[in-house]
Structure 1
Amino acid sequence: MRTTVSAAALAAVLSTGAGFATAAETINLTAVSGYAPTASWVKIFEEYFIPQVDKALAEKGDYVINWNKGFSGTVVKPRGELDAVSSGVADLAIVVPAFHVDKLPLHAVSFVTPFATGDLHLVTRAMAKIAEEVPEFTQEWSDLGVHYIGPAGSVDNYEAVCKTNKPNPKDFDGVKIAGAGTNLLYFKGVGGVGVNSNLGDFYNAMQTGIAECSSVWAEAAAGFKLYEVAPYFIKADMGAVTSFAIAANETYWETLPEPVKEAIEEATAGYGTALADYVVAAADASLETYKANGGTIVQYTQEQRQEMAAGMPNIAQEWAEAADKAGKPGSKILTMYMDMLRANDQEIAREWDKE
């Protein structure tokens, strides 16, 4: 009789897990981007970042994340990600710092140094090092109630797509160019007129005549079918930038258990690499897609690129001096960044920090 009871009790314990293991704690997390998964940074977030976090947590078994994916404008529109994560509307966001140069000026260093490198992996590593070694960089985020986790980039090379051909840099004189923030200054030396917009609106801007051209990169140009309204792809190779950052609401971040934080941090580091891998691999195929849909690729020579760079005001020095006056280490970050490019033997068209 005692044997039968003991066996029954043991079976009950095993069936419920009592005394042996506890159920994993569920963490609710709302992650947002105003863009749809057709955008590479959202696509890779869904296909790499989320599974990577889930895998790391599953290996330990203590926590599981219940993901609320606020993409495609369901929670915020493009440009609204920073405010959402700052206010707590979102727990985690793919932020576009280029839209917020007034609040995050130090993040703009890769944007103010065009024609310096097309190596997106290098740019991402350089920004991660700056974030690690310069506390003022992450403090900008903290001042907004946001915890900065890490950089990522989807722009391997800024180019231009236009409704009519621009075989020479001087052909941009007086032309309206849609773009996001600082990168519009790349056309200033050749007379281009910047129109602030975002990738999701470029198609309509050119279709309706608000702009003649858009400042964009190959993967996005093909992905958003810009060849339908702008059949000329002007390959001026203006350079790579870290256009995104993974960031969390600071109050929310502080409540997370350490293993969850570690899983998110590790996934963020891998996300930057995975996104760069995807964009670089997609670039050549995207140009073929452009041509297959009636587009024309106009390749600028190195001399034409130097013409564009030389005609620009030194926006890097202007940026660094403005940051210095505001009590931020602009010149320090500019030199650090350019030194990292030089250490990796990049073909720099203009030594922005040495003029």
Structure 2
Amino acid sequence: MNPTRRSFLAGTSALLAMPYLNTRSIAAETISIQIGSSHPTNNIWVYAMQTALQPALDKLLADAGGNYVVNWGENYGGTLYKFKDTRAAVRDGIVDIGMVGTVWEGSSMPLQNVTYFTPFANSDHNVVIDVFDRLTEELPELKAGWTDQNMVHLSSLVTDNYDVYANFDINSVDDIKNRRLNAPGTSANWLADTGCTPVDGALTTYYTDIQTGVSEGTLSFASGIQPTRVYEVAPKLARVGFGSMYFGGIAVNKTFYDALPADVQTALREAGRITSRSHGDYVTERATNAMKEMVAAGLQVNDMAQAERERWAATLPNVAKPWLDANGPAAAKVLKAYFAALRERGITPARDWAAEA
């Protein structure tokens, strides 16, 4: 047995029903599951695991007759691995179930990062969850991104809408010319050809970067900005509408999953769907409350005019093209399926990247 993981226990133990419940004795098989993440449980993605996935699976198994019970081993907050190792941790069975940040896996799971190469597409995070839950099941290319890594996708994880938090007013794309904004990773593409200099960083560095003049603001989302108090040094929010991003997913190690009883597999998949809905609700709650608290603390909010959003989007080069060129027909299929799903929901992106594919 691989010492770095807990396989489920096949032994059967007799669980005597408590007398006050007035139920008969039943035999239940105990399934031991190690669940973990690189982030703490107050994180919007990890919160979904502990408060939605775990209780949902417990309840589904109990409602199905109580033939199986789960013995959870919680490994949250980076106790077993850090954020750059989420894929490897689930793939290799360091944990049986874990949060996988595909945003950090551009070379290993590139198709999952389609939203980061198509800014100005859609700001509704619940739509992103629904679309990617469905497309991951329907598109072999997206599903293979998980199964080829010895994982089974259970639930989609997202960010709320990306905007610009800055220490200067932004009413149009012209206002960021000759400025410096934190825009790590792929989000730097959203500033291409605008005259703005992207500065690398992370939620943990934005405050100091802006305070010390390394940057003058950042591209980020409310549920991330509020806890880090970045609004204190970047008190002007320009609602640009870069969009909600598919961040990754909750996944189960495929070797572990394949060895589970069929009834437990079914319950686990349903628990994943329940978790997606719960995650969407929680992100809504966190983002809404974050905005209220920041505005009360002095954040000035400017809703950029739709015409200016479209002009910003049109200013960018085809930022999807390098991603498409690197990943071939599969990327084009995923991109077109994503934008078709948006159209089905009556959403009109500020720029139709699929039409340029």
Using structure 2 for the length normalisation, give the TM-score: 0.84
1:282-325, Cα deviation, whole Å (9 max, x unpaired)? 4333222112122222321112211221111112243223211x
**1:127 aligned onto 2:132:** yes
Give the residue type in structure 2 aligned to 1:54: D
**1:149 aligned onto 2:150:** no
Asked if 1 retains the 8 angstrom alpha-carbon contact of 2:181 and 2:218, the reply is yes
Asked if 2 retains the 8 angstrom alpha-carbon contact of 1:189 and 1:310, the reply is no
1:6-60, Cα deviation, whole Å (9 max, x unpaired)? xxxxxxxx8999xx75542222222222222222222232222211111111222
Asked if 1 retains the 8 angstrom alpha-carbon contact of 2:203 and 2:225, the reply is no
Question: Any residues of structure 2 matched to 1:215-294 within 5 Å, and which?
Answer: 215-294=219-298
Instruction: Give the secondary-structure state (helix, strand or coil) at the position aligned to 2:82.
Output: coil
Asked if 2 retains the 8 angstrom alpha-carbon contact of 1:111 and 1:183, the reply is yes
**1:304 aligned onto 2:290:** no
Residue of structure 1 in register with 2:336 after alignment? 335
Residue of structure 2 in register with 1:89 after alignment? 94
Residue of structure 1 in register with 2:10 after alignment? none
Cα deviation, residue 206, structure 1: 4.1
**1:188 aligned onto 2:189:** no
Instruction: Find 1:99's aligned residue among 95, 100, 104.
Output: 104
Give the residue type in structure 2 aligned to 1:90: V
**1:116 aligned onto 2:117:** no
Which moved further from structure 2: 31-40 or 304-313?
Answer: 31-40
**1:30 aligned onto 2:34:** yes
Give the residue type in structure 2 aligned to 1:35: H
Cα deviation, residue 204, structure 1: 4.8
Instruction: Find 1:55's aligned residue among 59, 69, 72.
Output: 59
Give the residue type in structure 1 aligned to 2:246: T
Q: Give the Cα separation in 1 of the matches to 2:35 and 2:207.
A: 26
Q: Give the Cα separation in 1 of the matches to 2:56 and 2:259.
A: 21
**1:74 aligned onto 2:79:** yes
Residue of structure 1 in register with 2:12 after alignment? none
Give the residue type in structure 1 aligned to 2:300: T
**% identity of equivalent residues:** 29
- Go from structure 1 to structure 2 and tell me whether the alpha carbon gap of 1:86 and 1:15 turns closer, same or farther (over 3 Å shift): closer
Cα deviation, residue 180, structure 1: 5.0
Asked if 2 retains the 8 angstrom alpha-carbon contact of 1:38 and 1:223, the reply is no
Asked if 2 retains the 8 angstrom alpha-carbon contact of 1:123 and 1:240, the reply is yes
Instruction: Find 2:317's aligned residue among 313, 318, 324.
Output: 313
Q: Which runs of 5+ in 2 are unaligned?
A: 1-15
Q: How many residues align?
A: 336
Using structure 1 for the length normalisation, give the TM-score: 0.85
Cα deviation, residue 105, structure 1: 0.9
Q: Give the Cα separation in 2 of the matches to 1:102 and 1:174.
A: 31
Which moved further from structure 2: 300-309 or 118-127?
Answer: 118-127
Residue of structure 2 in register with 1:3 after alignment? none
Which moved further from structure 2: 191-200 or 99-108?
Answer: 191-200
Asked if 2 retains the 8 angstrom alpha-carbon contact of 1:39 and 1:223, the reply is no
Give the residue type in structure 2 aligned to 1:37: T
1:68-117, Cα deviation, whole Å (9 max, x unpaired)? 22222222222321121122212111111111111111111222222122
Question: Any residues of structure 2 matched to 1:38-53 within 5 Å, and which?
Answer: 38-53=42-57
Asked if 1 retains the 8 angstrom alpha-carbon contact of 2:178 and 2:196, the reply is yes
Q: Give the Cα separation in 2 of the matches to 1:229 and 1:198.
A: 15
Asked if 1 retains the 8 angstrom alpha-carbon contact of 2:183 and 2:199, the reply is yes
Cα deviation, residue 175, structure 1: 4.0
Q: CA RMSD in A?
A: 2.6
